[in-house]
Amino acid sequence: MKRDVKAIVKEMTLEEKAGMCSGKDFWHLKGVERLGIPEVMVSDGPHGLRKQAEEADHLGLNESIKAVCFPTACATACSFDRDLLQEMGERLGEECQAEDVSVILGPAVNIKRSPLCGRNFEYFSEDPYLASQMAAAHIKGVQSKNVGTSIKHFAANNQEHRRMSCSSEIDERTFREIYLGAFETAIKEAKPDTVMCSYNKINGEFASENHRLLTEILRDEWGFEGYVMSDWGAVNERVKGLKAGLDLEMPGSGGYTDKEIVEAVKNGTMDESVLDTAVERILNVVFHYVDNRQEGTFDREEDHKLAAKIAAESMVLLKNEGILPLKPEGKKIAFIGKFAEQPRFQGGGSSHINSFKITSALDAVKEVTEVTYAQGYDIKEDKTDEKLHKEAVQAAKEADVAVIFAGLPDAFESEGYDRTHMRMPQCQNTLISDITKVQKNVVVVLHNGSPVEMPWADDVQGILEAYLCGEAVGQAEVDLLFGKANPCGKLAETVPYKLSDNPSYLYFPGDGKTVEYKEGVFVGYRYYDTKEMPVRYPFGYGLSYTTFAYSDMQISAEEIKDTDTLKVSLKVKNTGNVAGKEIVQLYVADKTGAASRPVKELKNFVKVELQPQEEKTVEMELDKRSFAWYCTELQDWYAATGEYEILAAASSQDVRLRKTVRVVSSQEIPLHVHMNTTISELMENPKTNSVIQELASSLIEHMGGSQDGEEGTAAAEAITPEMSMKMMENAPLRAMRSFMGMNGEELEALIKKLQEAASM
């Protein structure tokens, strides 16, 4: 049935309307029984249902229902698989219906600006395009079951340190391209029911009361129609926030801020229509869920199997010197490390799932072969336990192959605080190093939510990055280690050699009051690749048990308008002996020189499954945004006229094929001519070029460029033609007074003539 929400709002008292704009408790919205408005529940996600019952809290101190923990975003992003994320979303939506949860709080798309952010395990990528694509698929999946999502944390929340008060100081272009970019496409294409605003300030103003962010950009520009909720406790000034576009405060404030809203309407400082609009937005989402209520199924065993499948698709094989897949026949294999028995598969904080079942690698390997096991280390503190250490080294020495399960304990990364370094516990690094001295066949399996330094990487034969891959992590690890599944994940973030290589190193996490985003758009691989800096493993990198060849790249046109769509196709062949999946990445390199840009940016990708020796043609599209950068002067996205390279790559540093396309812009950046406009700016503009060319040669002459000096003379050596040309190009118009003897009236006349030409 179709509800007349506006009519319902008219029936509500002022107090009832104000009450709808804050939570009843930690997880429920208020209802109005006399008007048929039910109380509905929201619950933490995004990689599992953390539904709490009584004595609810935000950070997971109290017990939640038994649920299924799917792989976290740091892992699923490495799948580069939109369909897989949608399938996971659908299953989460089913679970929410079964448990009567109207909105699941996620996905989280904040950019991985620094490896140190304590919540990176919940975030997808350092790349806004990849993050947005993964988020859009997740949202579509959940909402196909008539359950809402809450994309978060909007915006520029890229650290835990002082996250509730610190101001992210960020320029407009960087904000648009990187930090809003991760949200924009997901919101426009997948239309999440809700958006969760972040705790932090943005350029001095709290996100929760930022009208430009919550109304002008989110609603007016992007067309968002749902409601905006606060992160838990993010409200600073409630009435100002409501005016800015913050509809729902979570959790409740015991009625205090409801009274503030009522008073603001009564004393005329806020129009009641602002409140009415917020209530309408909330009720539209509430009734959509209630009117499409289903029984839902929560088959934990089946969902556990799906978690294992997703984990196997997401793990990344970083190194393999012929040691993998393992052959159990006639081999003595040792599993070493506490994480083999008690895996770390999720992060700490509000997303922590009370998993109904956990499959460790030791559990899963029983179906394949017998292994010896040694704990090797403890995780309570970073201290070598000599007894455990010696047992592990001896077990490795006596085996044919040692598989070491290592990584970051819970205490090393969590919501609420950031890491201070990129190192694993020293006791684990020492253990790996000592084992490599007695055993040459070593594989390391990593459990971590963010990159770690790997001082032992050159001394082991295999590295499998498992990230935090959910409750079925052990099953996926064993399937990959023994070849039942073929690794097909690729890194959604760069792994640098050391922390100080990271572009935000000098600025993260700021002084506690502000944090400056001085690296601008050069985040992650955009920085490393542009700077030509060596990294441990580049963005988009990942190995397989087979090999792939790219060929026959085609583009639909050699020249397009910026309003056109470019179609790109190429052939991919599995040149090995086992079936596998390849992730083909499409990057765009701007060759126009119109703006300072990274050497390449990811703009599309496709994952293709191929049998041995099978070849398929894959197709992708590029639109205007694939070529554009955000021009603050236009306050719009701008693709300059000129040449762009289209790069088909296996990683950001492994370009296989390339084509060049010319893009013709339908926009023009206005040229405002004034005394300090340079000659080169005027020469580059076709409209003013002819005017300034008349003066250029004369200006060069006056600057000494045509001096008649014999070769080798002091005059000729002091003022070369090249020097004169560059001095002329870089000279502002006011230089005409000094070098050409123009008076003020003549200069003003020239500027007027140039202004008229520029505006034609």
The closest alpha carbon to 627, from 588, 653, 600, 591, belongs to 588
Summarised one tens digit per residue, pLDDT across range 74-93 is: 999 999 999 999 999 999 99
Position 712 confidence tier, pLDDT thresholds 50, 70, 90: low
Q: How far apart are CA 720 and CA 735, in angstroms?
A: 19
- Beta pairing, strands 333-336 & 371-374: parallel
Whether the Cβ atoms of residue 359 and residue 473 lie closer than 8 Å to each other: yes
CA 381 from centre of chain: 32
pLDDT at residue 606 in the model:
98
Q: Would you state the pLDDT for residue 693?
A: 79
Phi (first) and psi of residue 654, to 5 degrees = -130, 75
Radius of gyration of the chain (CA): 29
Q: Look at residue 537 and tell me whether its pLDDT is greater than 70.
A: yes
- Is the pLDDT assigned to residue 35 strictly greater than 80? yes
- Residue 231: active-site member: yes
What burial letters (b/e) apply to 645-677, b meaning 16+ CB within 10 Å? bbbbbbbbbebbbebebebebebeeebebeeeb
Q: What is the pLDDT of residue 739?
A: 75
Q: For strand 42-44 and strand 103-105, is the pairing parallel, antiparallel, or unpaired?
A: parallel
Once rounded to an integer, what is the mean pLDDT over residues 528-533? Answer: 98
For 457-507, the pLDDT digits (tens) are: 999 999 999 999 999 999 999 999 999 999 999 999 999 999 999 999 999
Whether 69 contacts 307, CB under 8 Å: yes
Q: List the one residue out of 54, 45, 6 whose CA is nearest residue 192.
A: 45
Distant-in-sequence, close-in-space partners of 500: CB < 8 Å, separation ≥ 6:
none
Q: What is the pLDDT of residue 744?
A: 86
Q: Which band of pLDDT confidence, cut at 50, 70 and 90, is reported for residue 330?
A: confident
What percent of the chain is modeled with pLDDT above 70? 95
According to the model, what pLDDT value does residue 733 have?
A: 87
CA separation for the pair 188, 196 (Å, rounded): 16
Amino acid making up residue 375: Q
Q: Convert the pLDDT of each residue in 96-155 to its tens digit.
A: 999 999 999 999 999 999 999 999 999 999 999 999 999 999 999 999 999 999 999 999
Judge whether 452 and 424 are in contact, CB under 8 Å.
yes
161 DSSP assignment: T
Predicted confidence at residue 716, as pLDDT, reads 56
Question: Which pair of structure tokens corresponds to residue 717?
Answer: 């050596």
Task: Tell me what pLDDT residue 710 has.
Answer: 57
Q: Is 742 helix (H, G, I), strand (E, B) or coil?
A: coil
Average pLDDT value for residue range 689-700: 75
What mean pLDDT is reported for the chain?
A: 94
Q: What is the pTM of this model?
A: 0.94
Alpha helices in 226-271 (DSSP H): 238-244, 256-266
Chain segment 156-198, per-residue pLDDT in tens: 999 999 999 999 999 999 999 999 999 999 999 999 999 999 9
- Distance, CA of 229 to CA of 102 (rounded, Å): 14
Residue 303 φ/ψ region, left for φ over 0, alpha for ψ in the -120 to 50 degree band, beta for the rest: alpha
pLDDT of residue 271: 97
Q: Would you put residue 162 in left (φ > 0), alpha (ψ -120 to 50) or beta?
A: left
Average pLDDT over residues 439-462: 98
Query: Which H or E element spans position 57?
Result: none
Q: Active-site residue among 81, 127, 193, 231?
A: 231
Mean pLDDT, rounded, for 244-261 = 95
Tens of pLDDT, residues 207-240? 999 999 999 999 999 999 999 999 999 999 999 9
What confidence score (pLDDT) does residue 703 get?
Answer: 57
3-state secondary structure 492-520: CCCECCCHHHCCCCCCCCCCCCEEECCCC
484 or 414, which is more confident?
Answer: 484
Distance in Å from the first CA to the final CA of the chain: 57
Q: Residue 219's pLDDT is what?
A: 98
Say yes or no to pLDDT of 55 above 60.
no
Count of helix runs (H) and strand runs (E) in the chain: 25, 25
User: 120 in helix, strand or coil?
Assistant: helix
The pLDDT value recorded for residue 371 is 97
HEC assignment per residue over 438-463: HCCCEEEEEECCCCCCCCCHHHCCEE
Best CA proximity match to 60, nearest among 146, 138, 122, 150: 122
Q: Which of 52-61, 561-570, 573-582 has the lowest mean pLDDT?
A: 52-61
Sheet with 371-374, side-by-side order of all strands: 316-320, 462-465, 442-447, 401-407, 333-336, 371-374
Of the candidates 467, 494, 466, 488, the one whose C-alpha atom is nearest the C-alpha of residue 478 is: 466
Q: In percent, how much of the chain has pLDDT > 90?
A: 84
Q: Classify residue 146 as left (phi > 0), alpha (psi -120 to 50) or beta.
A: left
Helical segments of 270-385, H only: 272-290, 300-314, 338-341, 361-365
Q: Model confidence at 285, in pLDDT bands (50, 70, 90)?
A: very high
Instruction: Please name the residues in contact with 333: beta carbons below 8 A apart, sequence gap of 6 or more.
Output: 326, 369, 371, 372, 399, 400, 401, 402, 403
Instruction: Quote the DSSP letter at residue 35.
Output: G
